[in-house]
Amino acid sequence: MKKQRLMVLLAFSCLVIIATLIGCGTAVVDGFLIPLGGLEPKFAFVVNSNSDGFGVPVSINVYKVNATTGALTLVPGSPFNMGVSDSGTVFIDADPASRFVYVPLQTQNQVAVFSVNQGTGALTPVTGSPFDTGGDWAFAAKLHPSGKFLYVSNYNSDDISVFSVGSDGKLTPVGTPVPLVDGDTPNQIIMDPQGRFLYVSHYCCDTGTMDGFSINSTTGALTPIPGGPFDACDGLECRGGMVDFSGRFLITGVTWDSEVSVLSIAQSGALTHVSGSPFPSGSGPFTAIEVPSGGKTYVAVNNIYDANVSVYDFNTSTGSLAEISGSPFTFNSWQWLHFITIDPSGKFGYAVDFGTDCCATGPSTITGVTIDANGNLTQIPGSPFSNGTNAPSQIIITH
């Protein structure tokens, strides 16, 4: 009888915990579905890479995140140099538990893997790193939500490298790189939180298409989605984007226009514009993030060339976007706003700024904000945070 009572109490406790997490909502943090309010931010990883030229070392600045205030403190040893001095912009990834960071090395055609010191945040190469991609010009890395697979887009060879990830962070190739159906300069990789589908945007030129693949959950292998490539970007270039929490909609900025595309994801993974898509935005929309606040759900999009953020009411049933009153939001420190993200608790958002222009190596910043129940952005105390004289292209927050 006592054992039965204990089991009932344990079951009830589990239900309370689950209900608490569900009540707080969920968030996609760099591709991972995470319960908001259940996890506190720990580290921020900022990749510094020259946007357009060469000769500037690729490096990583690591920051400790104050879980109460959102303030960032630079970790001793930063920036951690990747040993590459002739590479352009790259996009990294990290597992959400702050164990490993994955960094494409463009001209080496490799991806470096670093273990993260859980106390200090310092980075150390794992045994065997860097690993060959088998492709040409490694550009963007994306970790599967399970943490078992890593995908790297190869800009020049127009394909995707697939790796299985060991418990020690080591990478093992899964077959040979998978060619794109559209076959033109893969840019960033977008994945749904459930890990079913992988989408690839294109850097060039004016096709406006996006490749899609289904993911084998056992092996990580990719299979082209029937009907692809998909007309995702209104005939123009799109780069960054995300899939919403439910896995029903893909949202991407049409970078060479002032639009944001919202596409419905079919059961097969095929993409179709929702009614009203594309929606108007500022100039150079790039990254999109989804944030639930005050019982509503918002989508925020950074506009690179306008150096501001557009915030939209997001209809989670239809996928439609409606820009809120007061949007877009601008802060005095912003000049060339390149990337935005949210932290695992859902309390803070962060934006990285190149500095004076797209190719700057002068002073650059990281701005932290909060979002209220009406979708308004407020700069957190101490923000913006200096990123030194580096040109940051991306920020990732882990717990």
Evaluate whether 113 touches 101 at the Cβ level (below 8 Å): yes
Model confidence at 384: pLDDT above 80: yes
Mean pLDDT value of segment 287-301: 93
Q: How far is Cα 145 from Cα 30, in angstroms, rounded to an integer?
A: 9
Secondary structure class of 22 (helix, strand, coil): helix
Q: How far is Cα 185 from Cα 381, in angstroms, rounded to an integer?
A: 40
User: What average pLDDT is seen over the chain?
Assistant: 85
Tell me: the pLDDT tens digits for 156-177?
A: 999 999 999 999 999 999 999 9
Mean pLDDT value of segment 121-147: 96
Mean pLDDT value of segment 69-97: 87
Mean pLDDT value of segment 14-42: 46
Confidence of residue 33 (pLDDT cuts 50, 70, 90): very low
pLDDT at residue 256, as a whole number? 79
Confidence of residue 35 (pLDDT cuts 50, 70, 90): very low
Residue 12, C-beta contacts closer than 8 angstroms, at least 6 positions apart:
none
Can you list the domains of the chain with their CATH numbers? 2-398 (2.130.10.10)
